[in-house]
Structure formats: structure tokens, C-alpha cells
Chain A
Amino acid sequence: MEQIELKHVYFQYPNGYLANEDLNLTVKKGEQIAIVGQNGAGKTTAVKLMNGLHKPSKGEVIVDGKNTKKFTTAQIARYVGYVFQNPDDQIFNQSVYAEIAYMPKYYKMSASEIKNRVEESAALLKIESFLDKNPFEIPYVMRKFVTIAAILATKPQYIILDEPTAGQDLKGIEVLADLLKILKKQNIGTVTITHDMDFVANNFERTVVMANKRIIADGKTRDIFGEDDILRESKIKRTLAGEVAVELGMGKCILNIPDFLQEWSKLEVKDGK
């Protein structure tokens, strides 16, 4: 089966801290899910289990039929690419080009293939103009894009983005939204951790909610934002359009501005003119 599967997964750090409890989750190839929840809810630990950076203390993680316990992280990471939350934890090369080319080189690809992959990945993140620069000379958010490009260049089956929207401006958010569309077309599975509910509402059909080390909800984004109990427990807020709709008595299932427009047009409203 082409999917990432977490079955009753628990994870305890060596210092004894239990970060994940009884996680059950399936991400099919080509599927795109958002993981949301407060800092400390266990989101990053959960995704590190998906690419073998962590091995479950109890339960199993199966990637395309392979139990992560029986393979090295390097073997699993070839299927599941993880982009670190802090780009400075990932970057170690002297130029943006070398950083993106590193894994394709490691996999002993031909020179032309390496070049193609670097250029293709850089173009997707719109960082072509930085290829010759030292990664530490470019802004933090651009370094984040470098790390995403570096993982894309390995052509994984699945890609995990850990808070890609943090600190991004309008253009950065657009680049990420376009990237998701392209990955969807390429049938690459994506798991995205984010605190940006507008980004979730506008780009993800499926959302997984974590709170207190556990998955407390997994379903259609629209349904999740309609459930007051889930929102309360995970301390997640609706988007502004959603909150305004609730306040105005227009229902709980308005996800974003396009939804709002549709519902508003059904109402009888006074002409402003």
C-alpha cells in the first residue's frame, strides 16, 4: 500500500518525556493534510515519526509497506522528506546551490540530473536568484525555502513541511500555496504543520488536530472548523470569515472568504447605496 500509516503509536524521548500517545493516522500517497494544534501538542514529534527520525516507543509506523523500525532513517527519508522547522538545523553547505544539490549528489545522480533537480526545485520556491549565495547571507524565511527546495530535489514520495508559513509575507504564502498545487499534481503526499488557519482553510481539504500529545480530530477541514468542542480543546480559532459568520448567525461551517460570499449572497441584505 502506498501510504504512511501510524498504528497506536507512542513516543517517549530518552529523558522520559512522553510526547505522543496512541496516534492513529493514515496519509495516502498524493493526499495533502494539515496538522494543527498548540505549541507542545506533539505535532513535530508526530511527523518525525513518519520519516524515521524517531522510531515509535510503542506501536508501528508503516511507510509504503515498510515498518520504520526495520529500516534506517536514511532509507525511510528517501521516501519521506522532512523539512525542519528551523532551517538552521538543516543547512550546512556554503552555497544555496550546493545545499540543494547535496542529496542528489549523495544519491550519485548524473551531473545533468543534479543540475536539473536543483534548477527545478529552486524555480518552484522562486529562489533561483539566490543559488550562488551563501545560505546565511539570505533572510531567514528564504533559508526556509532553501531547505524545502533541498528536500524536493530528492524527489520523495511524501514531503513534510514543519511550519512553512512562519514569518512568510504575502508572496511567500502564495509560493507555498502554488507549491501545494504542484505537489498534488505530481501525486506527492504532503503533511504540513502550521499555525496559520487562513492557510489551512484555503489550501487543505483534510485537517488533523492535535492536543495534549494526541490526535483529537481528523477529518474534512470544513467539518473540523464546525465543531466547537474540538476548537475549544485544541485552542484553535476559526478564520475571521468563519468567526464573523458565527457572530452573524450564518452557521458554523463557513471556512473562508469564498464560503462567506456564497452564504451572504443568499441573505436578503440592504443595499448600501
Chain B
Amino acid sequence: MAFIKLKNITYTYPLAKEPALRNMSCELERGKFYGVIGENAGGKTTFCNLLRGLIPHFYRGELEGEMTIDGQEIRNIDVDILSTQIGYIFQNPFTQISGVKKTVFEEIALGMENLGVPKEEIIQQVIEIAELVKIEDLLQKDPNQLSGGQRQKVAFASIIAMDTDVFVIDEPTSQLDPQGTESIFEIIDKLKKQAKTIILVEHKIDLVAEYADELIVIGQGEILAKGDVHQVLSDFSLQTRGVMFPQAALLSKALSEKGFDFPNIPVTKSECIQMLKERMR
């Protein structure tokens, strides 16, 4: 059964002339990993704000259509309760970090403290999460003196610490190098294996294609495509709508333009190697 349902959702920010989201309808299921892709300023972050209840509860503006989370109409939802169900990792780590805590340890513990988790449990959780995110060496540092990449990892850790069922994650790797990025994807993959629902906005399509179950393509405020990763990425016409394709798909496309056709479009490196191996004499 669908956990989040949107029906004909149109949303306009206060004072904006044009709607940021137009007539969006879709259903999201529990336990799935959704990759949200598409051009910048196309509505991806607004979509996240909606899933997290920030729209309409924080941003106001004009919301039309119907939306439910776990059967509850979004307009009637208690945002405080929602925040214990849906964890939201902001795009900009500078927004996420509270600025009031003196150490990374306290920063990660902040959310749990607010929920009244016992102290012993908090300490254990923080240590476990720090190991998972590989920031053990940062625990005693001042969050305000970290590099962009380090802040992004700390922001990520503080939300995972909340242990919600759903994670909405908006570009968690923009400040990270390839190793940092892969370690974030490995953590997201672990969350997925714990049956968490994940909604991830990310431009690094090669990794999204490898890990996600489904893609939601958003552009100009609309859902341009939604479905299985292979199905969505077999439609190269989406390139004209600013959608990035994985290098594996682009390589197969370039080869097919040279006359080497393939039965399917590979989206990951291993699929690509497999298909090419079959063609080598």
C-alpha cells in the first residue's frame, strides 16, 4: 500500500508568480529507495519540502490538490510528530548544523536529547553512528570549524541518529569527494536494508542508478517520469529536459550510434561490462 500519496498537487510559494509544483500525482511505497533527479530549479527541493510537511506548515503559500502521508491528510498533520517519522537532510550542511553545540558529539546527540532518549543510549548511538559515517575523529571538534565535506557528513549523522522510518535526503554529497560520496551511498544502502524508505535527491546519477529502486524525474515543477531505474533511463529523450544519464547508458548510446546495437541499455558499470563482453570475440 502506498505510504505517501500525491494527487494533483500544485503549489505556489508566497509572493511567487508561478507555481513551483504543477499537478503532481504519484505514490511512494514503504521500504523503497527513490532517486529524485532532474534539472536544477526544477522543483526537486520543493518536492522534498512537501514530503517533510514543511509545505504547507512552514512555507505557507498556496497548496492545491490532495496529499496523504500514512493515510493522514498533509494539512492536518502535526509537523512535530511527522519529524519523528520522516528525517530530512538538507541540501546545504550550513543550514542543517544547529550552531548552538560546541562539539560534533553534542550536535549528533541533539535530536535524541530532544526526544528524551536516555543518556547512556545516546552516547552509544552517537559512537555507533560516528563509526558508520566514519567521523569518529571529528567527535570532539567544533561543528563550525569543519570543512564543507565534514559538515555534510556530520549533518548526515545527526539525522540518521533520529532513526526515523523515512529519510528525505537532499543532495547529501555535493561537497564530498568520490570516496566520501561512495561512503554516503553505502550508508544509504544500509538504511535501505533496514527497510527504511529513502527519497534521495542527487545529481550523481551513476551511483543513483546503481543503488535506487525507482527514479522520479522532476522538471519545471512536474513529474516527467517515474518508474523502475532501467525503464526511466531507457528514454534518452529526457536528456533534452536536462536529465543526466549514467555514463554506462551514454557509452551504450554512443556505441549504438556507431552501429553497435545492444538489446538493453546498461545503467551500471557491471551491466555495461557484461554486455560488452558478450560482444567481444
A interface list, Cβ under 8 A from B = 37-40, 85-86, 88, 139-142, 163, 166-172, 195, 197-198, 235-237, 239-241, 243-244, 247-248, 257-258, 260-261, 264-265, 267-270, 272-273
Contact = CB atoms under 8 A, between A and B. Distances in A.
Contacts of A240: 206, 246-248, 251, 269, 272
A248 B276 contact: yes
Nearest to A36: B177
Contacts, number: 110
Contact of B148 (A86, A141, A273): A86
Contacts of A38: 177, 179
B258 A265 contact: yes
A172 B243 CA distance: 11
Interface string B241-281: 01110111011001100101111000001001100111111
Interface in B215-247: 239, 242-244, 246-247
Given A169-B242, A170-B242, A240-B248, A264 B174 contact: no
B269 A243 contact: yes
B92 interface: yes
B114 interface: no
Which residue among A88, A167, A198, A239 has the maximum number of chain B CB atoms within 10 Å of its CB? A167
A68 B184 CA distance: 40
Which 4 pairs from chain A and chain B are nearest by CB?
A240-B247, A167-B174, A39-B149, A272-B261
Contacts of B254: 257-258, 260-261
B56 interface: no
Contacts of A169: 38-40, 203, 242, 244
Contacts of B243: 170
B175 interface: yes
B16 to A, nearest CB: 10
